[in-house]
Structure 1
C-alpha cells in the first residue's frame, strides 16, 4: 500500500499518507489510530462489509448559531471529532457529511494479481502513486486503486457502502464499477484481530492456513468430524437415561399428544450442533492448551498474554505469504513488554508490509523512527506527524534522543523537557507526591523527559530534543535553570518550545530544591545521606557554607532523590518552588493556555538568608 487517502471518514476530514514500507501508528487518545486501520479494512477485507454501519462513520459537522462574531447564524463551524457529543445544545446541532471516501493504492503486484486487475491497472511514479500514461516514465510499474464509499440516503434514512475502482467509476454521476469480493479475498491481506486465536471457523487465520495447505484433506477431516459428532449425538439421544428423561418431559401435561396426532416416541427426539452444519460445530469448538503441569485447559484460562501471543503467531504464520500485508489495531495491548517488542519485530521482518496501531512504546521501538506516524488532536482537529531520515550529523545526534526520551511519551500530548537527569528526578519525585493536594502532571497530559541522560545532557540539548518533539506534534515546555545559562542558549530554547518555565536568576535545581526551608531541616535531611556516603555532607560545616556544601554533594553524587524524600519528611510538604514550577507546567499544557511564552518563577528565601530574595 503506497498511498492512503481518507476523506470525511469518522474523525478525519482529510488525511493522506504515503509509504512504500511499514507504518506504525501511535499518538494521543482520540486522534484516529483505530480509524485508520478501520478505513483500510473497509477497502481491503470483504468481511468488513458485514460489520454494522453507523452514522458516526461519517465525519461530523457542527452547525453553530453565533450571536455576534465568528460564524454567522446558521453557518457551519467544522470540527474533527469522530462522533457527535452527547448533550449537544439545540443551538449547535451535529450533522454528518453525506458520504465518506477511503482510497488505497496497491503496488508491487505479482503476475496473478495483475491479471485479476486487468483493465483497471494504472502506471505509477517512483513514489507508488498513480499517474496517467503520458506522465509515466518508460517501463513504469503498474498499480491499482481501490476505493470505499459510505453514503447516507437522507430520504430513505439508510447507510450504504461499496468498494469500487476509481479509474472506471464516476461517483459524481452515481456510477460505480464494484470490486468483487472474490478479488479482495485474493489479496494477501491479513487482519490481526484481538479476538480468540486458533479458531477452526471459516475465515479465521488458522482455517485459512489449513485450507491452503491441503484443501481436499481439510475438507475430509471436517467431514469425518461432522459424521462422528452426528453419530455420537444420535447415540446420546438413544441412551436409556436420556431417552427416559425425554419421555417424561413429553408426557408431562400431555404435551406430546398436543404436538402431534401421532404418539411421539422418545426416539423421535434427537440432538445436533446448532443448525446441523459442520461450520456451526466448528464455531463452538474452542482450543485447549497444555502448559506446565496444569493439563489441557481452555486457552482463556491461561491469561490474556498467552492468548495474544498465539494470536500474533497466527499472523506471523500468514505473513510468510510473499508480499503479505498485515493490519493490526492496538497491537501489544495484552502483551508484556518484551514480547510486545519481540513479536512486533517478527511481524515487521516477516511481512511484506505492516500497518499497525499501538499505544505501547515497545512496539514502536521495533520499527525505524521514520516508519512512525504520530497522530495528534488539537482543538478537535486531527493531524499527523512523521520524522524524516537524518541527512547530517546534527540529525543523527538528535535522533539519539528519540528512543530514550520521546518514545515513552508517544501517547502524551505534551512533553516537559528538563535539563538533565538530576532535574528530572527532582521534578518527578515532587510530582508523584502531589496527591491528594493536587493532581500530577499526567492528569494534564504531560510527560517529564530529560535533555539527555548523562554527559550528553544539559541546557544546550533542550533545543535538540524540543525540535524533535515538535516535529512529532508534541506541545513542548522547557524547564530551565538560570544559574549560568547564556542568553543565546535561552533564545534558542524559546524558539524551539511552546512555553519556557525559568527558575529565578542564579538558581539551579539544587537551590530550587532548598528554597523555603531552614538550616535545621537541611541538616536533618543531609544526615540521612550517610546511608550512601561515608560522611554527612553537612557534618562540621558552618551555617554560612551549609547550602553550598550540601548542593555540591547532591550534584556530584547524584543523591537528589533520597535527599528530597528526607527533606519532605522533615518539612511535611514538597519544596514550594518546585511545586510552583509544576503548577506553571500544568497550566501551560492546557490547549486553552494564553499566558506568556516565558514564565519566570519568583524567587524564595534560601536557608540562612534571613529573608533575602537575591540568592
Structure 2
C-alpha cells in the first residue's frame, strides 16, 4: 500500500505471486519498486530522501481558472484509480508519505525473527485482528516506511517500523532493525557493474554465503600480499630516488616536521590501506572469443547485463527469495531478455520487475501482468481477468502477438484482420516526412486476428481485453456489410469507432482517389506474383472492382501499394484522412463523436479517377 509517495497518491496492489509492471512512461513503474525497496532494503534508506519523494498536490489559484476533470474512458480495473490533477499554480508537497508491505508465507526462521510482530492473515493475505482470524490462519508481518516533511525546520525524516507496535500519528515507532531487514531474502537487481568484489555487492554476497571462512582467508591473503608488494615498490631504488628528489625540492622534506623526513618515511597503499579499499578498485575481466581477457565493460552493455542477471539468479535460490528489478531487459537482446526473465521467474519465490520489453512480459502468465497508465494526468493500474467464454479465450491469444508489443502505447487501434493492418501500417509509414505517423499520437495498430480467426465480430473481444489493460481503444472497420448488433457491440467495447464510407472495404479505400492510369500501372506490377494482370482488358468502370477482388483473394496488398505509391508519389488520400481521424480520437480529451463515419471523397475533377 502506497500513500502520497512520489507520483502515487494512493495505491493498493495485492499479489502472492510474481508481478511484472508494464505501461506507458511516467505511469509509476519505478516508483512502485522504489517503494518496495524503501521498506525491504536497508541500503535504500542510507541515503537522504528528497522532497520529490512526497506527493505533490496542486492548488488552483482561483475557482474560475479551473479546468474540469476529464471524464474517464477506462473500465473499472479492480484497483484504485486516481483522480486527475488540475493545472497548477504551485505544487505543495504532502507532509508525509506512507508505504506498507505485508509479507506472508514466512519460513520458520523468519517467523522467529519477527516474533512479537506477527499477525494472523486473512483470506486475501492481509493482516486481520486476532478475533476475526480463522482458527488455522497463517501468520504474516507488516513492515512500513514513513517519510515526514517538517516545512518549518525544512527537514525530511524517514523511519521503517512495525505498524503493529507503532502509532505514527503521535510519533511513536517500533523501528525495524537494519539487521532484520538484511535477513530478508530480498535481492535488488540494479543497473550497476556486475562481478564486483566489494562488500555488499551481489557477487560478494554469493562468495560469503558459499564459504565465509574461505572467503575471509582469501581476502586477508590479498591484503597481506598487496601490502607487501606496495612496501617493496616503495623501497625500490627507482621509486626511492624519485621520492628523494621530490623531498629535496624546495626543502619540503626538512620543513614538514621537526625532524627532516627521508625516502624511507614515504610509502604507498591502496586508499585507506584496507582490503575493501582495494576491492573497490578491482574490475572484472572476461575472455570471450578471440578478444583476450578484456575488461567486462569493453565487451559491451549486453554482456555486462547478462552477468548482472546471473548474479541475481544465483541469489534467487535462497528460500522465498524476492527479486526487485527495474527496467529489466533494457540492455539485453530480445532472446536473452526473455530467457533471463523466465529463469528469474523459475528461480525466485517472487519476482517484482518492471520492463518496457514485450519479450520480458512474455515470460509471465497473463494474470501476473500489471499495466500502469496515465489518462488525463491520472495514474491507474489494471490487471487481466481470467477468460470464461470461448471468444474471450480466442481474444487472449492476441495478448502475446498483438498487445504485448503495444504495452507502452497509450492507445491501440484495432482493425479487422491482417490485410487491413498491412494497408494502414504501410500507408502510415508512407506519410513521412510530410505527415506524422500514428505513433506520434501514441497509437499502435493491431489486428483482431492473424488469419481466419479475425473479422469485425472479433474486435469487441480484443477491445475488451485491451481495455482491461487500460488501453484507450479505437475500432477501425469497413462498412462493406449490413450493420446491426455488430456496431452496437463495437460502440460498447471501444472508446471510439471509425468507419469507412458505406459499402467500402479496405481494398476500395486504398484505390479511392487514384487515377485509372495509376491503378492499371500498379496492377501490371502484380504479374511478378500472379499469373495475370487483373486490370488487363477490363473497361475503366470495372478496373477498381477487379483489382480489389484480386488483392483480397491473393493477399497482394503490399506489392500493389508499393507500385501505386511509385506511380502517384502520394499515399491514398482516403486512408490518410482515416488515419488523421484516428490520431485525433487517440487523445483522452477527444471531444468528438464516439462513432466517426468517414464520408466519400469529393468527386475528382478527372472523370477517369476511381470514385
Structure 2 Cα separation of the partners of residues 256 and 215 of structure 1? 45
Offset, 1:263: 2.2
Deviations 1:175-201 (A, max 9, x none): 000000000000011111111111111
Structure 1 partner of 2:509: 512
Q: Which residue of 2 aligns with 1:44?
A: 40
Offset from partner CA, 1:324-366 (integer Å, 9 cap, x none): 1111000000011111111101100111000100000110000
- The answer to whether the aligner puts 1:157 opposite 2:154 as a matched pair is yes
Counterparts of 2:244 and 2:372, CA distance in 1: 65
Question: Match of 1:556?
Answer: 553
Give the CA deviation at 1:122: 0.2
- Compute the displacement of 1:273 (Å): 0.9
Q: Deviations over 1:454-497 (max 9, x none)?
A: 00011111101111101110000111100014221111111111
Q: Report the CA distance shift for 1:254/1:493 in structure 2 as closer, same or farther (over 3 A).
A: same
Specify the alignment match of 2:7 in structure 1.
Answer: 11
Matched, 1:136 2:111: no
> For 1:359-408, what per-residue CA distance to the aligned partner results, in whole angstroms no more than 9, with x for missing partners?
00110000000000000011221100000222343332221121111111
1:577: how far off? 0.6
Asked if 1:445 corresponds to 2:436, the answer is: no
Residue range with higher mean Cα deviation, 445-454 or 271-280: 271-280
Gaps (5+ residues) in structure 1? 73-77
Q: What is the 5 A alignment of 1:558-597?
A: 558-597=555-594
Deviates further, 249-258 or 432-441: 249-258
Show the 5 A alignment for 1:369-408.
Answer: 369-408=366-405
Q: Within 2, Cα distance between the matches of 1:349 and 1:608?
A: 66
CA drift at 1:430: 1.0
Report whether the alignment pairs 1:198 with 2:195: yes
Cα deviation code 1:158-183 (max 9, x no counterpart): 11101000011001111000000000
**Does residue 422 of structure 1 match 2:419?**
yes
**2:306 maps to what in 1?**
309
Q: Secondary structure at the match of 1:462?
A: helix
| Alpha-carbon distance change, 118 to 610 in structure 1, aligned in 2, over 3 angstroms | same
Instruction: Give distance in 1, aligned partners of 2:27 and 2:66.
Output: 26
Does residue 536 of structure 1 match 2:533? Answer: yes
Q: Is the 8 A contact 2:421 2:447 kept in 1?
A: yes
- Kept after mapping to 2: 8 A contact 1:192/1:315: yes
Cα 1:51/1:439, change in 2 over 3 Å: farther
Matches within 5 A, 1:136-285: 136-285=133-282
1:194-226 superposed Cα distances (whole Å, 9 cap, x missing partner): 111111111111111111111111111000001
CA distance in 2, matches of 1:372, 1:125: 24
Partners in 1 of 2:537 and 2:241 — Cα distance?
97
- CA positional deviation for 1:79: 7.3
Unaligned runs of 5+ in 2: 69-81
1:600 to 597, 601, 609: 597
Q: Distance in 2 between matches of 1:543 and 1:170?
A: 84
Partner of 1:126: 123
Shift of 1:69: 6.5
Alpha-carbon distance between aligned partners in 2 of 1:408 and 1:71, rounded to the nearest angstrom: 34
Q: Is the 8 A contact 2:100 2:144 kept in 1?
A: yes
| SS of 1:131 mapped into structure 2 | coil
When normalised by structure 1's length, the TM-score is 0.94
Cα contact 1:60–1:80 (8 A) shared by 2: no
Q: Counterparts of 1:161 and 1:52 in 2: how far apart (Å)?
A: 9
Q: How far, CA to CA, are the matches of 2:482 and 2:288 in structure 1?
A: 60
- Note if contact 2:362-2:400 (Cα within 8 Å) is conserved in structure 1: yes
Q: Is the Cα–Cα contact under 8 Å of residues 516 and 608 in structure 2 kept in the other structure?
A: no
Distance 2:437 2:250 in 1: 69
Which residue of 2 is the match for residue 469 of structure 1? 466
Higher RCO (CA 8 Å, separation ≥ 6 residues): 2
Whether the aligned pair in 1 keeps the contact of 2:96 and 2:147 (CA below 8 Å) is yes
1:31 aligns with 2:27: yes
What do the CA deviations read for 1:468-527 (whole angstroms, capped 9, x no partner)? 101110000111100014221111111111111111000111011011111100011111
| C-alpha distance in structure 2 between counterparts of 1:80 and 1:36, whole Å | 19
The residue matched to 2:143 in structure 1 has which SS?
strand
- Cα separation, 1, equivalents of 2:595 and 2:528: 40
Of 59, 66, 88, the match for 1:63: 59
Bigger Cα displacement from structure 2, 386-395 vs 406-415:
386-395
Cα displacement string for residues 270-322 of structure 1 (whole angstroms, at most 9, x for unaligned residues) = 11111111111111111110001111000001111111111111111011111
Larger deviation: 426-435 or 248-257?
248-257
Contact preservation (8 Å) 1:65, 1:71: no
Matched ranges for 1:284-363 at <5 A: 284-363=281-360
